[in-house]
Amino acid sequence: MKLKLKNTTLKKSIGAIVILIVSIFICDSLFPLPKAPEYSQSVYSAKGNLLSAYLTSDEKWRMRTKIDEVTADLKKSLIEKEDKWFYYHPGVNPISIIRAFFSNITSGKRVSGASTITMQTVRLSEPAKRTYFNKFREMLRAFQLELHNSKDEILELYLSLLPYGGNIEGVKSAAYIYFNRPPDKLSLAQCILLSVIPNDPNKLRPDKNPMNAKAARTSLINYFKKNKTFPKILLSDADDEAINAFRHTIPSSAPHLCRFIKSKSKDDIIQLCLDESIQLTAEKHLRAHVNSMKFRGISNGAILVIDNKTSSVKAYCGSADFNDSYALGQVDGVQSLRSPGSTLKAPLFAYAIDLGLITPKSRISDIPTDFSGYSPENYDSKFKGSVTAEYALKQSLNIPAVKLLHKVGIGNYTSILEQSGFGDISKRSKDMGLSLILGGCGATLEELVRLYSVMARAGKLYSLRYRSDRAADSNGIRIFSEDAVYITSQILSSNDRPDFSADLVALSNLPLISWKTGTSYGRRDAWAIGYNPDYTIGVWMGNFNAEGSPYLSGAQVAVPLLFRLFNAIDYDPENKYFHYPEYAGEREVCAETGMLPSNKCDKLTTDFYIENKSSNKVCDLYQKLYVNEDSTIQYCPECLPDLGYIKVDYPVYEPALTLWFLNNEISFKQAPLHNPKCTAIKSDDSPRIISPSPDYDYLIDDSNDREILLQAAPCQGANRHYWYINNKFYAECKPEEKIFFKPQYSKIKITCTDDKGRSSTVNVRIKFI
C-alpha cells in the first residue's frame, strides 16, 4: 500500500514538473523576448580600429560591445558593483530579493535593490515604471533571458545598453565620446567612472558635471578599497586621476569608404580590409598633389588601392578632402561615373591577343579612316601610318584602337566589360558604338581598377573584397589568358612612351609597374591605372563639377601621383615582376608586317606569341613583279615581252595606306606604272573605294548639314577620278583629292571611274534621324 502511494506521489510530481516545463515553453513562445535593439553601425579597419560610426534611427550613439572588447578591470568593476553572483544565479538572486524586501518593509521606503545584471538588462531592453508588478515581470523575463543566452551574451547586451547621459548608450560609445579611446584601452579610473555613471547618467556626465562625476567615482573607489576589489595603490592612483570635462567626436576616417559600405550593409559591426597605414599614405599624397594642382583649375582627385593577392581594398580616397564643400569633397570619386578616356584600350589589346588577331609586332594602319561616318583622330591630330600594335598601345593611338575594336566586334568586347562589372556599359550595351574605346561610355574608378587587377591576377577577375569579415573570392572568372595579360603587361611596363612624365625621372626609385593613362573628351578627367604583382592602384584627377582644364591629362596630372604612390606603398616589392607563363613564347617575325618571315624578308625582329593562338601566317608583303631592265615599266603576263624584263620584289600595301603614303610624301619602294601600251584590263585592277564603306549604316541627322567623304585608292597610272551617285555624274577630282556629298536618299549607289576606264561600285545605306 505504501509502495503504491509512493508511486502515485512520484507520478504526480513528475507530471507537475512536465506541466511546469511545458507551461514555461508555451509562455516563452507566446511572449518572446524583444528583438535585439538597433545598434549604431560601426566600421572598423583590418586591425580592428574604429574608422567611423553612425547614429541609430532614434538618434542614439549605441555601439554594440563584445565581451572581448572591454578590459578585465571594467568587467570586474561592474560585476562587483552591481551583481557579485552574476555567474552563479539563474537570472534572479533569491537571497538579494529577500534581503531587499525586508529592508524596504522595515524602513518604510526603498533603500535596497535586488536587481541582478540580467534583470537590469531586461529593464534596459524594455523600459517600464518601477512597480512591484513590473519587478515581478522583470524576474520572469530574466529567467527567460537566461534560458536563451549565455552569461557572456547577457553581459554583452548589458554593456551595450547602459545609459551614459544624453544620447550615449553602451560602454563603447561612452569610451570613445568621453575618453577618445576604445573600451579595451581604458585606465582603472576610467573603468570605475563608467561603472558609476549609469546610476544617474545625466547628473554624472563628466563633460557637463565633472565634480559630481569625480565624487561618485571616489565613493565607488572607497567601496572597492573596503572590499579589496583592486590593489589599494592602484585605487589611490585612480582617485588622483583628473576627469577631462570634454566630449570627443566619434572617429571619422576614410569617410567615403565607410559611407559606401554602410549603404551596402545593415550589419552593425563591419570590419574592413582597409590598411590604415596605406590609407593615410594615399590621403597625404592625394591632398598634397591636389593642392599643387589647384592653380591649374584642378580641384580634386580619387585613389583606390587593392591587394592583388586577395583583391582586398587597402585604401579608398573618394576625394582630397571630404570636408571641402567648395570642391564638392563629399562626392565619392571612386564610385562616380565618368568618361574613362583611353583606359579601356589595354584590355582590348589583351583580348585581341587572346583571340590571335594581333601580337605586339603586328602592323595596324594609323591613317584617316571613316567608320560609317565616324572619323576619329589621334590626341595630337597627327597620323603615324603603319605602326606596330605595341607602339599603338604605348602611344595610345586612337585609329588603331577603333580598328581593333571593329575587328574584335563591339558586342564581343562589351560582353567582356559587362562580365567585368561595368554597370553603365551593361545598361547601354545595345547603344554602344566604336567611340566606346575612346571614352564614349561611363565607368567608375572602382570598375577600372577591378578590370586592371585582372591583368595582375593572371587573367582572372575576382570580386573586390572590402570586408575582412567576409570570405575572399577564391574562384574568380577567367577573362583573359595568363599569356595574353603577360604580353600586354610587358608592353605597358615600357617607359618609352609619351605618358611617361619628365617629372618621374626625378624619383630616386622608379617602380617597375605596368600602367595605362586616359584623358576624357574636353579634358574633364585624367586617369592612371597601374599594377605590379602586389598592388593595383587607380588614380583619377579632375573636378566634380565637370569643368575641364587645359592641364588635365592622364600623363601630366595622374601618372606622377600613381608612381609616387607605388614608391610610398610598395617601395621594395618581394615579387619584382610577373612570372613567364606556360604558353607564351618569343619568335622572329618580319619587322615590316609582324608576320612569320618569308625568304623575302630581310628585316627581322623578336616578337611575343601564344602557342596555338597567335597567327602563323607567313609574310606576303613582297610580291615579284615583271619590270623592264631600268625598273620604269611594269608588265603583266598579257603584255610581258619576250626579252628585256627582270623580276623584282616590291611591297604591296593596302590601297588606303598606299594612298596615305603618297599624299604625305612618305618614301617607299613603289612599283613602276603598268605598261601604258597594254590592252588587257585585269578584273581586280580598279579604283578601291575607301569611303564610304558598304559595311556600315550611316546615321544622318536631318537637322544638320553633315556630309560624307568620297575617296578611293587609285590604280597605277590613274590621273583623274570621276564620281557617280545613283548613276548620275557628281564630281571630278585628282585621285588624292577629298570631296564630299550630302546624301538625299536612304539607299545610294556610288561609282568611281578613273581616266583609264576602270571603275568600282559600292552600295551604302543611310538612316535619317
Catalytic positions are 82, 342
For the chain, the maximum distance between any two Cα atoms, rounded to a whole number of angstroms, is: 145
Report which DSSP code applies to 420.
T
Residues 129-151 as b/e (b if ≥16 CB within 10 A, e otherwise) read eeeeebbebbbbbbbbbbeebeb
Angle at 24 between CA 19 and CA 28, to 5 degrees: 145
Nearest Cα neighbor of 194 from 180, 209, 206, 211 is: 206
d(CA 438, CA 402): 8
- Measured between alpha carbons, how far is 596 from 766 in angstroms, rounded to an integer? 41
Instruction: Phi first, then psi: give them for residue 528, nearest 5 degrees.
Output: -150, 120
Reference 625, options 648, 658, 592, 653; nearest CA is 648
CA 382 to the chain's CA centroid: 33
CB count, 10 Å around CB of 751? 19
d(CA 386, CA 369): 13
Cβ–Cβ < 8 Å for 166, 102: no
Question: φ and ψ at 750, to 5 degrees?
Answer: -120, 130
Q: In 3-state terms, what secondary structure has residue 487?
A: helix
Among candidates 475, 445, 441, which has minimal Cα distance to 460?
Answer: 475
Residue reference for cell 579611446: 181
Residues 504, 512: Cα–Cα separation, whole Å: 12
Degrees to nearest 5, angle at CA 583 with 577 and 585: 70
What are the φ and ψ backbone dihedral angles of 144, each rounded to 5 degrees? -65, -40
Nearest to 636 by CA among 681, 601, 605: 681
Sequence-distant (≥ 6) Cβ neighbours of residue 364 within 8 angstroms: 358, 386, 387, 388, 389, 392, 400, 403, 404
**Whose CA is closest to 553, among 614, 491, 498?**
498
Instruction: Write out the three cell numbers for 549.
Output: 582644364
In degrees, rounded to 5, the angle at the alpha carbon of residue 667 between the alpha carbons of residues 664 and 668 is: 125
Helices (H), 131-170: 132-148, 151-161
- The residue length of the chain stands at 769
Beta bridge partners of 536: 306, 531
The answer to whether 34 and 50 have CB atoms below 8 angstroms apart is no
DSSP summary character for residue 184: G
Q: What strands, in cross-sheet order, belong to the sheet with 747-754?
A: 697-700, 759-768, 747-754, 721-725, 728-733
* 157 close to 25: Cβ distance less than 8 angstroms: no
Please, what sign has the CA dihedral across residues 141, 147, 151, 157?
Answer: negative
Block residue for cell numbers 575607301: 690
Distance CA 417, CA 422 (A): 6
- The crossing angle, in degrees rounded to 10, of helices 132-148 and 2-30 is 100
C-alpha–C-alpha distance, residues 356 and 351, integer Å? 9
Cβ burial 75-86 (10 Å sphere, 16+ → b, else e): bbbbbbbbbeeb
DSSP H helix total and E strand total for the chain? 21, 28
Report residue 403 as a C-alpha cell: 580598328
Within 13 Å, how many C-alpha atoms sit on residue 497's CB side? 23
